[in-house]
């Protein structure tokens, strides 16, 4: 299986993250997997955004409001096309947080235009936190149902993966749609003390932070039957190291670099 290179929130070196422009650029670069983040609006629509909040658009003095308290129409009034100081070469664009369904349509149409129809895999991160049910998002069961509905309606469920740090979401979604591909995001090594009791099954993917990865961890996940895709890997030497120690892929802010590295292609 080829070493997988996932575009983290799209092609962030070119366009602001999690915008349609960033995802379409990742496709143009030759990416075959894009990673993106999901939240829920007040009117129960699945919105693509890393942060679950925005500065208060009503100007009430509150520093921020959860997207879950706003309708999608309200969310779409907030410009998210500003250049990030972490990626100064980005192009300033006028953009709003898109619906997941809009991302699917735009990327699939773009792939057709460049002669690569049906090639993209979508790795969807569901943003969810224990203790924030009803505040930042619905209950796990309700949340999972909304996401799975969008996936079902997309017609491309066989090219979609669902990942989260919150094992409650994975358990709920797995119960409703067991045939979908799932991934557990991991930031702390202690999570593996109870794996696979958490998340309650062996997911197809375990996606750990670069800071906790070594060859022993990768080997142990492979023994259980999970592939390992590491985040967020941006330095060339770390990209090469992940391949050498047996990772199945990386999630990176710089797919334009990784895609052209002979070491990652096995050449």
Residue 229 and residue 45: Cα distance in Å, rounded? Answer: 28
pTM of the model: 0.96
Instruction: Tell me the two tokens of residue 134.
Output: 């009803």
196 upstream amide cis, omega within 30 of 0: yes
Identify the pLDDT of residue 108: 98
* Nearest to 121, CA basis, from 227, 257, 14, 202: 227
∠ Cα 56 125 57 (to 5°): 10
Give the residue carrying structure tokens 């619906």.
Answer: 99
Residues 131-142 as b/e (b if ≥16 CB within 10 A, e otherwise) read eeeeebbbebee
The pLDDT score that the predictor gives to residue 267 is 67
Smallest CA-to-CA distance from 252 within 1, 2, 17 is with 17
Domain that holds residue 60: 4-265
> For the chain (length 267 residues), average pLDDT per consecutive 10?
95 98 98 98 98 74 84 95 96 97 98 97 98 97 98 98 98 98 98 93 98 98 98 98 98 97 87
Domain CATH number, residue 15 = 3.20.20.190
CB 149, CB 67: distance < 8 Å? no
Domain count, the chain: 1
């Amino acid at each position: 299986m080829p070493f997988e290179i996932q575009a983290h929130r799209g092609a962030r070196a070119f366009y602001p993250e999690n915008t349609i422009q960033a995802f379409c650029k990742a496709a143009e670069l030759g990416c075959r997997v894009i990673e993106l983040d999901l939240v829920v609006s007040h009117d129960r629509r699945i919105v693509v955004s890393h942060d679950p909040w925005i500065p208060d658009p009503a100007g009430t003095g509150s520093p921020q409001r959860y997207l879950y308290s706003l309708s999608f129409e309200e969310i779409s009034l907030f410009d998210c096309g500003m250049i990030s100081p972490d990626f100064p070469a980005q192009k300033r664009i006028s953009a709003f947080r898109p619906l997941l369904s809009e991302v699917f349509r735009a990327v699939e149409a773009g792939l057709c235009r460049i002669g690569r129809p049906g090639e993209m895999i979508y790795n969807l991160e569901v943003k969810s936190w224990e203790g924030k049910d009803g505040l930042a998002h619905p209950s796990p069961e309700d949340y999972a149902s909304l996401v799975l509905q969008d996936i079902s309606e997309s017609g491309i469920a066989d090219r979609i993966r669902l990942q989260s740090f919150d094992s409650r979401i994975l358990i709920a979604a797995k119960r409703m749609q067991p045939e979908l591909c799932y991934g557990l995001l991991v930031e702390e090594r202690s999570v593996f003390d109870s794996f696979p009791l958490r998340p309650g099954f062996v997911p197809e993917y375990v996606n750990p932070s670069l800071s906790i990865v070594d060859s022993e961890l990768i080997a142990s996940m492979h023994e259980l039957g999970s592939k390992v895709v590491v985040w967020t890997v941006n330095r060339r030497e770390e990209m090469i190291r992940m391949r050498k120690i047996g990772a199945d892929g990386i999630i990176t802010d710089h797919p334009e670099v990784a895609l052209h590295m002979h070491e990652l292609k096995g050449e």
